[in-house]
C-alpha cells in the first residue's frame, strides 16, 4: 500500500523551492538539495525525475505558495491602486524583517540564468510575467473606472510598466540591504501610477 506522499512531497518542494530561490538553479547541487530537503537522492528522483523536473515543479509551487498569497491584494476583485500598494508594502516589510539582501524573485533570478534554447522554462517565466501584468491591468482598470482618463491601450502599457518596474525592484533587492531605497522606489512607482490615473501626465 503506497503511503500518503502528498505531505512529504509538498514539504520537499518547499525546501527545494527555497534552495533554488536563494542559491540559484545552476549553483545548487543535488547534494545540497538532499541536505536541504532531508530526502534521499533516490526519493527525489522517484518523485520528480531529476533536477530540472524538480525545478519546474518548484516554479509551479512558487506560483501557488508565494505569488498567489503575495499577489492576492492585486488580484482581488474590485481592488485598485491600493491593492498594488499593499502588495509592495507587504513584501518590503518582509524584506526588512529578513534584514536585507533578499532573494529577489525566483522568476527574475531565473531569467538571467537560462539559455535561450530552454523554451519550456522560458514559458513558465513568461507566464509569471503575464500573470503580474494581468493583475496590474485588473487593478489599474478598476482604478481608472468606466470613464477614466486612460484608454485601454494606455492601461495595458501602464500594467506592463508596473510589471517591469517590479522586476527591477526585486532584482535590486538582492544587492542592497537598505530598505529605505526600496521603499522610496515603491513610493515613487505608486505616485507615478496615481499621477497617470489622475490624467496629469502628458
Partner DNA sequence: CTTGTTTAAGAATGATCGTTCTTCTACATC
Partner DNA sequence: GATGTAGAAGAACGATCATTCTTAAACAAG
Q: Where does this chain bind a copy of itself (CB under 8 A)?
A: 23-24, 26-27, 101, 104, 108-113, 115-116, 122, 125-126, 129, 157-158, 160-161, 163-169, 171-172, 174-176, 181, 184-185, 188-189, 191-192, 195, 200-202
Q: For residue 83, give the C-alpha cell.
A: 491593492
> What CA–CA distances, in Å, run from 176 to 6, 106, 169, 194, 199?
37, 17, 11, 27, 34
Nearest in space to 108 (alpha carbons), one of 30, 24, 15, 46: 24
How does DSSP assign 40-53, residue by residue? -HHHHHHHHSSHHH
Residue 31 touches which member of DNA, a copy of itself, none, C-beta under 5-8 Å by kind: DNA
Residue 152 touches which member of DNA, a copy of itself, none, C-beta under 5-8 Å by kind: none
Minimum CB distance to DNA, residue 23 (Å): 10
Residue 65 touches which member of DNA, a copy of itself, none, C-beta under 5-8 Å by kind: none
Nearer to DNA, 18 or 86 (CB): 18
The dihedral through the CA atoms of 74, 80, 83, 88 has a sign that is positive
Amino acid at each position: 500500500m503506497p503511503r500518503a506522499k502528498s505531505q512529504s512531497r509538498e514539504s520537499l518542494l518547499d525546501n527545494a523551492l527555497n534552495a533554488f530561490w536563494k542559491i540559484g538553479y545552476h549553483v545548487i547541487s543535488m547534494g545540497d538539495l538532499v541536505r536541504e530537503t532531508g530526502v534521499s537522492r533516490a526519493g527525489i528522483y522517484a518523485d520528480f525525475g531529476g533536477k530540472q523536473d524538480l525545478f519546474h515543479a518548484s516554479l509551479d509551487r512558487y506560483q501557488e505558495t508565494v505569488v498567489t498569497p503575495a499577489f492576492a491584494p492585486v488580484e482581488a476583485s474590485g481592488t485598485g491602486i491600493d491593492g498594488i500598494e499593499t502588495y509592495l508594502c507587504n513584501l518590503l516589510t518582509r524584506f526588512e524583517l529578513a534584514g536585507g539582501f533578499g532573494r529577489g524573485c525566483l522568476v527574475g533570478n531565473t531569467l538571467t540564468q537560462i539559455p535561450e534554447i530552454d523554451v519550456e522554462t522560458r514559458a513558465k517565466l513568461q507566464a509569471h510575467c503575464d500573470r503580474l501584468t494581468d493583475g496590474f491591468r485588473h487593478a489599474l482598470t478598476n482604478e481608472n473606472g468606466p470613464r477614466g482618463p486612460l484608454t485601454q491601450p494606455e492601461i495595458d502599457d501602464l500594467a506592463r510598466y508596473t510589471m517591469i518596474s517590479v522586476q527591477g525592484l526585486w532584482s535590486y533587492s538582492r544587492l542592497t540591504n537598505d530598505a529605505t531605497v526600496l521603499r522610496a522606489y515603491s513610493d515613487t512607482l505608486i505616485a507615478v501610477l496615481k499621477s497617470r490615473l489622475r490624467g496629469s501626465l502628458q
